[in-house]
Amino acid sequence: MSVVPIERLRLNKQIQFERSLLRELTLQEVQQDVSQSFQKLFHSYTVFESAIQEEAIEQAMEAYLLGAEASQFILSGDQKEDVINRYEVELNTISADFADYLDYWHHATESHSWLIQRAGTICEKFFKRWWMAGLERGERRRRLKLH
């Protein structure tokens, strides 16, 4: 009989939890939100589809899983506002990085500058929305012991 390190067990459990959460998430749901949030910033649909959409979907899933991870603190008795504050730095980092990514593509495509100035606010709202969705679904899965 072999001994399995506890870190490996925790990692396997976390991977199973994330997979189960991602099964609940539909690609169409994320794509629709990405289009509504960011397509108006770019006049070229080709640029949006090839560069922006894919990265936004990936980052939305990251925020979603981060929110799901945070749900463990709500179940341990922490207030929702405390949990939100605990993850604020990470969420702001995701938002700022994606806003920089949009700024890069803005300069590459020479889009209107007044649209890109709103990108930071749009990014914050977008990733906060997906973080909250992950938090709520993660909390529900943990309460129902579906993890």
Q: What is the pLDDT of residues 45-56, one digit of tens each?
A: 787 888 899 999
Q: In the predicted model, what is the mean pLDDT of residues 8-19?
A: 86
- Split at pLDDT 50, 70, 90, the class of 1 is low
Q: N- to C-terminal Cα distance for the chain?
A: 27
Query: What pLDDT, on the 0 to 100 scale, is given for residue 115?
Result: 62
- Split at pLDDT 50, 70, 90, the class of 146 is low
At residue 28, what is the residue type? Q
Distances (CA, A) of 100 to 6, 54, 106: 38, 15, 10
Residue whose structure tokens are 């991977």: 15
Q: Which region among 26-30, 38-42, 127-131 has the lowest average model confidence (pLDDT)?
A: 38-42
Domain extent listing, the chain: 6-143
Distances (CA, A) of 38 to 24, 25, 56, 132: 23, 20, 9, 19
Q: What is the pLDDT of residues 60-107, one digit of tens each?
A: 999 999 999 999 898 888 898 999 999 999 999 999 999 999 888 887
Quick check: helix, strand or coil at residue 25? coil
At residue 67, what is the residue type? G
Q: Which region among 14-23, 30-39, 62-71, 93-102 has the lowest average model confidence (pLDDT)?
A: 14-23
Q: What is the pLDDT of residues 99-123, one digit of tens each?
A: 999 888 887 776 555 566 678 889 9
Q: In the predicted model, what is the mean pLDDT of residues 15-25?
A: 87
The alpha-carbon radius of gyration of the chain (Å, integer) is 18
Q: What is the pTM of this model?
A: 0.84
At residue 120, what is the residue type? G
Percent of the chain residues past pLDDT 70, beyond the cut: 91
